[in-house]
């Protein structure tokens, strides 16, 4: 049993950088990752996407994985390895270790190509392009690389997937089942998801404007983010200080609609409220909220309404870093957890890019600039998804 769970390492790859330092640099200098589609092959060329600026061949070279590895597994490998190396846990091999990852469409980036050929003739299509279709496949590729065997699992709850992976990992440590868990998630851009969100008419033709009165939708992105969670016992053996603790978490369901959020954000409210209760904090203790903030009409009003209900009349700083990375689906809970951890570690908060007009329904507005040397005690990170799956995490200073 461990009463507290600490973050001992972080790793991230996204459209704004291939590692933590590059992501931080882009966040500080307001450099978003969206742009013209260059790697994804789709007819919707005019839609901005937030691509990781590395081809599969480059990712293969960087990871040492086989050439046909799915892009989701490649991204996962890069970020998980960075987090693993960052934590540098002494005697890792002797500890009970787990890898809990998340994604939304598994190896779809390869299987959608397989399907074109297969659809024409069911006896054709290269099997190596579909063999890693299952969501759990990417997790195993990376767990095997890192030598993690005691516990591996994969969660898929749409856009809240990797927040739930981090949450589950922390509980396994608290229960005494594991000593160390690398948890987070990954997703690569795919025609399947691009067309899915396009068919829902929630993609912005321009760069997204989360929490802006004139927001028009989200931009899809790709990437991976992982944190290394450790027990108190392992934390005491580290050769450097831990980043922070994971003090609160909660998962609730909106139970309103398969894709739309309820107007008052019931699920979001319950997730944030539950996370506060779990951490023993009150709303006034939160220094910064890393918003789910996709930029869709529906999400931002629901999330905003829930924040209003929980935080009024005093609002903490808040921003959606999806204005940098786009919406990375199964990766966003992990990527934003890393940004939340860095916010505490460095005393920084991030801008919400392209915010101009406050939403008329809300009495607050997100941050518009990067702030340094600010006291950040507790960060709330929101991840809400299709199926009403809402999860909130709280990271706290020691």
Positions annotated as catalytic residues are: 159, 292, 327
- Residue 126 or 240 with smaller CB distance to another protein: 126
Minimum distance between the CB of residue 329 and another protein, rounded to whole angstroms? 10
Told to check if 198 binds another protein by CB under 8 A, we report: yes
Query: Which of 51, 82, 109, 112 contacts another protein by CB under 8 A?
Result: 112
Stretch in the footprint of another protein (CB under 8 A) among 8-16, 24-32, 246-254, 356-364: 246-254
Binding residue count for another protein, defined by CB under 8 A:
62
Write each residue from 267 to 286 as x if it is in contact with another protein (CB under 8 A), else as -, in one continuous string: x--x----------------
Tell whether residue 326 is a contact of another protein (CB under 8 A).
no
In the bound state with another protein, the residue whose beta carbon lies nearer, of 333 and 351, is 333
According to the binding rule CB under 8 A, does residue 136 interact with another protein? Answer: yes
- Can residue 73 be called a binding residue for another protein (CB under 8 A)? no
| Binding flag, residue 127, another protein (CB under 8 A) | yes
Name the residue nearer to another protein (CB basis): 2 or 266.
266
Work out whether 162 is an interface residue with another protein (CB under 8 A): no
Region near another protein per CB under 8 A, out of 55-63, 188-196, 292-300, 303-311: 188-196
Cis peptide before 313 (omega within 30 of 0): yes
Stretch that binds another protein, among 136-144, 316-324, 340-348, 349-357 (CB under 8 A): 136-144
Other C-beta atoms within 10 Å of 369: how many? 10
Binding flags for another protein, 31-70, as an x/- string (CB under 8 A): -----------xxx--------------------------
Q: How far apart, in whole angstroms, are the C-alpha atoms of residue 368 and residue 288?
A: 13
From the list 14, 137, 245, 287, which residue makes contact with another protein (rule: CB under 8 A)?
137
Judged by CB under 8 A, does residue 191 bind another protein?
yes
* 202-238 CB burial, b ≥16 within 10 A, e <16: bbbeebbbbbbeebbbbbbbbbbbbbbbbbbebbeeb
Q: Does 151 bind another protein (CB under 8 A)?
A: yes
Minimum Å distance from CB 272 to another protein? 13
Q: Toward another protein, which CB reaches closer, 98 or 351?
A: 98
Q: Strand 378-384 relative to strand 288-290: parallel, antiparallel, unpaired?
A: parallel
Is residue 146 a contact residue for another protein (CB under 8 A)?
A: no
Q: Closest approach of Cβ 355 to another protein, in Å?
A: 28
Residue 140 in the binding site for another protein (CB under 8 A) = yes
SS (H, E, C) the chain: CCCCEEEEEEEEEECCECCHHHHHHHHHCCCCCCECCCCCCCCCCCCCEECCCCCHHHHHHHHCCCCCCCHHHHHHHHHHHHHHHHHCCCCHHHCCEEEEEECCCCCHHHHHHHHHHHHHCCCCCCHHHCCCCCHHHHHHHHHHHHCCCCEEEEECECECHHHHHHHHHHHHHHCCCCCEEEEEEEECCCHHHHHHHHHCCCECCCCCCCCECCCCCECEECEEEEEEEEEHHHHCCCCCCCCEEEEEEEEEECCCCCCCCCCCCHHHHHHHHHHHHHHCCCHHHCCEEECCCCCCHHHHHHHHHHHHHHHCCCCCEEECCHHHHCECHHHHHHHHHHHHHHHHHHCCECCCCCCCCECCCCCCCCCCCCECCCCCCEEEEEEECHHHEEEEEEEECC
Instruction: Assess 287 for contact with another protein (CB under 8 A).
Output: no
Nearest-approach distance from CB 105 to another protein, in angstroms:
8
Q: How far apart are alpha carbons 28 and 194 in whole angstroms?
A: 28
Nearest approach, Cβ of 159 to another protein (angstroms)?
Answer: 9
CB of 198 to another protein, least distance (A): 7
* Binding interface with another protein (CB under 8 A): 42-44, 104, 106, 112, 115-116, 118-119, 122-123, 127, 130-131, 134-137, 139-140, 143-144, 149-158, 164, 168, 171-172, 175, 191-192, 195-196, 198-200, 251-259, 266-267, 270, 385-389
């Amino acid at each position: 049993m461990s009463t507290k769970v600490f973050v001992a390492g972080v790793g991230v790859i996204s459209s704004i950088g291939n590692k933590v330092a590059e992501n931080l640099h882009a966040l500080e200098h307001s450099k978003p990752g969206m742009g013209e589609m260059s790697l994804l092959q789709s007819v919707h060329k005019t839609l901005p996407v937030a691509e990781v600026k590395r081809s599969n061949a480059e990712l293969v070279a960087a990871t040492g994985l086989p050439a046909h590895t799915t892009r989701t597994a490649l991204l996962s490998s890069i970020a998980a390895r960075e987090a693993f190396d960052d934590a540098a846990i002494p005697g890792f091999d002797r500890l009970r270790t787990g890898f809990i990852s998340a994604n939304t469409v598994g190896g779809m980036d390869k299987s959608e190509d397989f399907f074109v050929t297969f659809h024409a003739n069911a006896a054709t299509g290269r099997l190596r392009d579909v063999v890693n279709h299952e969501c759990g496949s990417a997790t195993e590729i990376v767990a095997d690389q890192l030598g993690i065997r005691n516990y591996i699992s994969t969660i898929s709850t749409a856009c809240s997937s990797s927040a739930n992976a981090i949450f589950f990992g922390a509980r396994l440590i608290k229960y005494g089942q594991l000593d160390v868990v690398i948890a987070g998630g990954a997703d690569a851009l795919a025609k399947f998801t691009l067309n899915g969100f396009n068919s829902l008419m929630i993609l912005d033709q321009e760069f997204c404007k989360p929490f802006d009165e004139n927001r028009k939708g989200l931009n899809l992105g790709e990437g991976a983010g992982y944190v290394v969670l450790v027990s108190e016992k392992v934390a005491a053996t580290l050769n450097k200080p831990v980043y922070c603790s994971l003090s609160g978490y909660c998962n609730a369901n909106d139970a309103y609609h398969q894709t739309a959020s309820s107007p008052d954000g019931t699920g979001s409210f319950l997730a944030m409220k539950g996370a506060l209760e779990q951490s023993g904090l009150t709303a006034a203790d939160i220094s910064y909220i890393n918003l789910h903030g996709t930029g869709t009409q529906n999400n931002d009003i629901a999330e905003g309404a829930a924040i209003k209900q929980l935080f009024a009349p005093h609002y903490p700083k808040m921003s959606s870093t999806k204005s940098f990375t786009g919406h990375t689906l199964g990766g966003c809970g992990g990527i934003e957890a890393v940004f939340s951890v860095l916010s505490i570690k460095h005393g920084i908060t991030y801008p919400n890019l392209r915010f101009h007009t406050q939403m008329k329904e809300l009495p607050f507005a997100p941050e518009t600039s990067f702030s340094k040397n600010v006291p950040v005690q507790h960060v709330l990170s929101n991840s809400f998804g299709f199926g009403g799956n809402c999860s909130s995490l709280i990271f706290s200073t020691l």
